[in-house]
Amino acid sequence: MREIVFDTETTGLDPQGGDRLVEIGCVEMVNRVPTGAVYHCYFNPERDMPAEAEAVHGLSAAFLADKPLFGEKAGELIAFLGDAPLVAHNAGFDFGFLNAELAKLGMEPVDRARMVDTVAIARRKHPGAKLSLDALCTRYGIDRSHRTKHGALLDAELLAQLYVELMGGRQIGLELAAEALVVERDGQTVAVAASLSVSTKPFRSPRPHAASAAELARHAEFMAGFSEAIWSR
């Protein structure tokens, strides 16, 4: 199954109040194994960058000034997403910004039925625990030492590892054949590096275990030789 794990960075918290999407990072997975295919882009928000937002992700208005507008990249982004389920941490936030940008272009929103929220999954598994990406990476031993600021692609890559752990860890899917790990991309079937081993042992028919009539007769004769057997009392 193909899934896309993604994250966004923005100018603030409210897309309806004028905040804009400034970065998106997407990681493709097939059968919960990263394929190596990613989509990453910065966007010019056509507005200022509040200091509190810049402190989180480090993206300044000057850095974003020469980046493409969202509308210039929307088509290729939607093509990369395809019809796959979309996994995000606090997914309602990311879906809200993505769909707000699409609405500005008169494009169809991404169906929220495709939304997979890792915060909701973690809340069910660990009620009462801290649910931030940092806290959950610490819980599952995922290395985030290289994460000094939020970054959409880096956070999506960390989230992909966390998602696998939340869904049961690397043991899930070990019954899948390696040849199942393929993905359709640009109309072609692309092989994905598989970490799963597949048994090639020859099939052996089950052996009969029921005793034959002759064996049963010999057993009865043998048992008759016991005097005062406790099973005969």
At 217 the pLDDT is 86
Read off the pLDDT of residues 172-187 as tens digits, 9 standing for 90 and up: 444 443 344 444 445 4
Binding site for substrate: which residues? 7, 9, 52, 57, 155
- Confidence tier at 232 by pLDDT (50, 70, 90): low
Residue-level pLDDT at 177: 39
Give the annotated binding-site residues for a divalent metal cation. Answer: 7, 9, 155
> Exactly one of 40, 89, 150, 219 is catalytic; which is it?
150
What does the pLDDT average to over 43-56? Answer: 97
CATH architecture of 2-191: 2-Layer Sandwich (3.30)
Mean of the per-residue pLDDT values of the chain? 86
- What is the pLDDT, as a whole number, of residue 131? 97
| C-alpha–C-alpha distance, residues 104 and 75, integer Å | 14
| Known binding-site positions | 7, 9, 52, 57, 155
Model confidence pLDDT, tens digit, residues 67-86: 999 999 999 999 999 999 99
Ordered by start, the domain boundaries in the chain are 2-191
Q: Cβ distance 162 to 134 under 8 Å?
A: no
- CA pair distance 113, 95, nearest whole angstrom: 11
Strands 115-117 and 86-88: parallel
Q: Is the pTM of this model over 0.85?
A: no
Active site residue 40: no
Cα–Cα distances (Å) from 88 to 95, 197, 222, in that order, read: 9, 29, 71
